[in-house]
Amino acid sequence: MPQNPPAPSAGAPKFLTLSPVIPVVTLADAALACDLAQALLAGGVAVIEVTLRNAQGLKAIAAIARQVPQMLVGAGTVLNGEDLRAAADAGARFAASPGATAQLLAAGQKAPIAYLPAVSDPSEVMCALEHGYRYLKFFPASVAGGTDMLRVLAGPFPNISFCATGGISPQNAGCYLQLPNVCCVGGSWLAPADALARRDWARIQSLAAAAVALRSVPVR
């Protein structure tokens, strides 16, 4: 009798299992990074993705890695192999990109940290599979078909697990997390710009706690 395929998230990289929501943060001031990390930890979120969209990104990653080691920090908006190396050198423990090129997929295979390439359609999933990736970022989720596309992808790709990112909010995150091929989602709402500007760590802690409560069962 044929066996069922393993659950998509079996053996998932650690950063995909720590929270149903991975905070995706762009910091204008790296000096806020450690306080932000502590607030998220207090709310039960032990993972953060800091984007490389400005010069503060690598500084923030380095600060968190050095001063808040209990927070698993990663780099977002990685666009090439050079970004991947810089992120690892700064202390990032994982990296994610908004898309994927053959060069970046190859670099990710050799990187000393986990790499999460992004896809938005079946052809891109197939390309990532050819390079050995089974955990993928689905981006931009809200304009690439959302939960309907993820349900479609589950058919031909039963062993692929996705972190859905882009247009995810507290209102729709639960719909994504209910899908068996979604291990977690990425969202920017856990660290809103106005809360960061006011250093409102209590609010960020509360948002983190609410995000953790979106799913009370373990990652499949």
The 10s digit of each residue's pLDDT in 108-124 is 999 999 999 999 999 99
Instruction: Examine the pLDDT at 41 and tell me if it is beyond 80.
Output: yes
pLDDT band at 15 (very low <50, low <70, confident <90, very high): very high
> Which residue do the tokens 């359609």 mark?
121
CA atoms within 13 A on the CB side of 210: 14
pLDDT band at 215 (very low <50, low <70, confident <90, very high): confident
| Section 83-107 average pLDDT | 98
The 10s digit of each residue's pLDDT in 175-184 is 999 999 999 9
Report if residue 123 sits inside a domain. yes
Instruction: Examine the pLDDT at 218 and tell me if it is beyond 50.
Output: no
The 10s digit of each residue's pLDDT in 174-212 is 999 999 999 999 999 999 999 999 999 999 999 999 999
Q: Which residues of 136-148 are buried (b: 16+ CB within 10 A; e: fewer)?
A: bbbbbbbebebbe
Beta bridge partners of 36: none
Report if residue 30 sits inside a domain. yes
Instruction: List the catalytic residues.
Output: 49, 137
Report if residue 8 sits inside a domain. no
Report if residue 73 sits inside a domain. yes
Predicted pLDDT at 2: 31
Mean pLDDT of the chain: 93
- Extract the tokens encoding 140: 């931009």
Task: Write a three-state SS string for 170-188.
Answer: CCCHHHHHCCCCEEEEEEC
The 10s digit of each residue's pLDDT in 64-89 is 999 999 999 999 999 999 999 999 99
Range of the domain at 150: 21-212
- CATH number for the domain spanning 111: value is 3.20.20.70
How many residues can be counted in the chain?
220
Predicted pLDDT at 12: 87
Beta bridge partners of 72: 47
Report if residue 144 sits inside a domain. yes
> What is the number of domains present in the chain?
1
**Cβ-defined contacts of 172-176 (< 8 Å, 24+):** 172/142, 172/146, 173/20, 173/21, 173/211, 173/214, 174/214, 174/215, 175/147, 176/141, 176/146, 176/147, 176/150
Report if residue 4 sits inside a domain. no
Report if residue 2 sits inside a domain. no
pTM for the full predicted model: 0.92
Report if residue 6 sits inside a domain. no
